[in-house]
Amino acid sequence: MSARDSILGRLRDRQGSALVAPESDFAVVTGRGWSREERAERFTRWITSVHGEVVRCNTADWTDALAGVLAEKQIRRLALGRQHPVALAARDALASHQVELIDADRDIEAWQEELFQHVDAGLTSTRGGIAETGSLWLWPDADEPRLLSLVPPLHIAVLDVDAIEDTLFDVITHQGWASGMPTNALLISGPSKTADIEQTLAYGVHGPRELVVILRDG
């Protein structure tokens, strides 16, 4: 008999009494009832508390905010997609800037070395945010692959205030995640960190040292 069949067999022929599934009342993880502004405020407070930076701006001017961040952080090489509206707008706005734009929509095998060693920042869109924990949620795709938000030392993420929901439970249920998960779904809440050396926080251990959220409003 295969390991599979014998394991499942033992589980099915359980000796003890019949197991009854208790009810799960999810009220404690939903129904926060926060206003739009409370959501933005909580999101900002929480993500800032774990070393994330938030730049809030008018949606119309968001690429100016992006240019400001790139200038401030002295970013020379920025990797980004080519199809998402965020990437398209950024490409338009940055065409006349000093920043070199790197196409991220390439097979990693073709440019792993470059991505790991010669990219200063990655720009991504986000699908939404979570107020309760100060989290971004991303579904990386062909245009904005998974490593774009992980490998460069700076991750710049663009989020709309209207896309912030109260809790993770709300996002999973409202957005119908269970009916179709992508290859990789991600929550990101701050830059990479560790406390493995005597509980002292250090940032950028494997992923980005810095996370900047451009929070678009209006």
Partner 1 sequence: MNQPVQTFTPQAFHQQAHAALENPQIRANFRKAMDGLMGKRREAFSDWDLETLRQLGANIRLRALSKLPDLLEQLEANCEANGIRVHWAENGEQACAMITEICQQHGASSVIKGKSMVSEEMHLNAHLEQAGIEALESDLGEYLVQLNEQTPSHIIMPAIHLNTDEISDIMHDRTGTERTRDVDAMTAAARAQLRERFMAADVGVSGVNFAVAETGTLCLVENEGNGRMTTTAPPVHIAVTGIEKVVEHLADVAPLYALLTRSATGQHVTTYFNMISSPRKAGEHDGPKEVHLVLVDSGRSRIYQDDELLDTLRCIRCGACMNHCPVYTRVGGHTYGTTYPGPIGAILMPHLMGLEATKDLPSASSLCGACGEVCPVKIPIPDLLVRLRREAVGDGVGNVPGAGVKRSRKEVAAWKSWQWLATHPNAWRGASLIAGSFRGLAPSHLGPWTEYRTAPKPAKSSLHTLIKRHRKEQDS
Q: Name which of residues 105 to 144 contact partner 1 (CB under 8 A).
A: 105-108, 112-113, 116, 133-135, 141-142
Within 193-212, which residues bind partner 1 (CB under 8 A)?
193-200, 202-208
Judged by CB, which is closer to partner 1: 23, or 95? 23
- Rounded Cα distance between 89 and 62, Å, is 9
Determine if 48 is a binding residue for partner 1 (CB under 8 A).
Answer: no
Nearer to partner 1, 39 or 63 (CB): 39
Q: What is the rounded CA–CA span in Å between residue 3 and residue 16?
A: 22
**What span, in angstroms and rounded, lies between the C-alpha atoms of 155 and 134?**
16
User: Exposed, middle or buried: residue 199 (CB in 10 Å: 0-12, 13-18, 19+)?
Assistant: exposed
Burial, 11: exposed, middle or buried (Cβ in 10 Å; 0-12, 13-18, 19+)? Answer: exposed
Cα 100 to chain centroid distance, Å, stands at 23
Q: Tell me how far, at minimum, the Cβ of 79 lies from partner 1, in Å.
A: 12
Contact window for partner 1 (CB under 8 A) among 19-27, 33-41, 69-77, 93-101 = 19-27
CB 79 within 8 A of CB 121: yes
Contacting partner 1 within 57-86 (CB under 8 A) = none
User: What is the enclosing helix (H) or strand (E) of 103?
Assistant: strand 100-103
# binding residues, partner 1 (CB under 8 A) = 78
Applying CB under 8 A, among 32, 34, 186, 217 the residue interacting with partner 1 is 186
Instruction: Answer yes or no: are the C-beta atoms of 77 and 100 closer than 8 Å.
Output: yes
Nearer to partner 1, 65 or 212 (CB): 212
Nearer to partner 1, 128 or 134 (CB): 134
The single residue among 26, 72, 92, 218 that binds partner 1, judged by CB under 8 A, is 26
CB of 165 to partner 1, least distance (A): 12
Three-class SS state of 109: helix
Q: In angstroms, what is the C-alpha Rg of the chain?
A: 21
Of the two residues 34 and 203, which places its CB atom closer to partner 1 in the complex? Answer: 203
Span 158-177, contacts to partner 1 by CB under 8 A = 167-169, 172-173, 177
Question: Is the distance from CB of 5 to CB of 182 less than 8 angstroms?
Answer: no
Instruction: Give the residue with the Cβ less far from partner 1, 151 or 213.
Output: 151
Only one of the segments 16-24, 72-80, 89-97, 121-129 lies at the binding site for partner 1 (rule: CB under 8 A); that segment is: 16-24
